[in-house]
Amino acid sequence: MIGLGLLSAACGGGTSAGGASAGGAKKSPMANPGGEPSVPVESTTAAAPLAVSAAPEVVQDRTGAPRVLFLGTSLTAGYGLDDPAHDSWPAVIQQIADSLRVPLEVVNAGLSGETSAGALRRTDWLLKQHADLVVIETGANDGLRGLNPDSTAANLRAIVGKIRAAQPGAKLLLVQMEAPTNLGTGYTREFHALYGRVAREAKIALSPFLLDGVAAVRTLNQADGIHPLPEGARRAARTLWPSIRSGIGRP
């Protein structure tokens, strides 16, 4: 495993289940339709101040609420958390929306160990259900493996194309990812830049780096030094919330 200290610190703005928890509790790996190995993933983004209640006081009626589909990796799935359904960052997004009485329905499709190629293979299947906003959090495993950034960019473009063909009314949000710094400055810069390039070309929104303010902070991460603890996930959710709220038309 590569610790968060190896993740790129150059994380400007712009914009899974399975494995052992920090406390040693073992999780069952999620089956992967794309055949990707179930291994942890790395990624990142910046935290904005926003109160998050541990749970909404009132269960919201989400009938007719905008549906947000999170196509992601182990970070999205909540790898290693005791209660991913409550503590993963997409689950916290739901809690934020409920606490603010913003209509929203979260669908968490995070899958541990998935590369952008695996996400592309899964996209058709995931789009069988309606989505008003698709949040694309993928590619960090590409960076972890040192894959060609051009290939990652091509996969992201293809994912965007599939979403637009299947659900032309859906908005898209691409989450900035980073590569580990041990692969060299040139690679990490090229990897960082591909997200902005794809977003500009496709004319879609780009979120900040998911774990900005969380990566490399020991008290916010599990023992693997990669995946956030519940507080780290809450900070990541606060980082993404403004982009998600804007994506569903509630600026």
Could you give the angle at which helices 230-247 and 89-99 cross, rounded to 10 degrees? 60
Among all residues, which ones are annotated catalytic?
A: 74, 224, 227
Q: How far apart are CA 14 and CA 12, in angstroms?
A: 7
Can you tell me the distance from the alpha carbon of 151 to that of 191, in angstroms, rounded to the nearest whole number? 11
Place of tokens 């909404």: 56
The two beta strands, 19-20 and 26-27, are antiparallel
Distance CA 176, CA 238 (A): 15
| CB proximity list for 250: less than 8 A, separation 6 or greater | 102
Distance CA 162, CA 157 (A): 9
Cα separation, 244 vs 68, in Å, equals: 8
How far is it, in rounded angstroms, from Cα 185 to Cα 173? 26
Residue 68 to residues 56, 103, 201, 221, 233: CA-CA distances in angstroms?
18, 11, 23, 26, 18
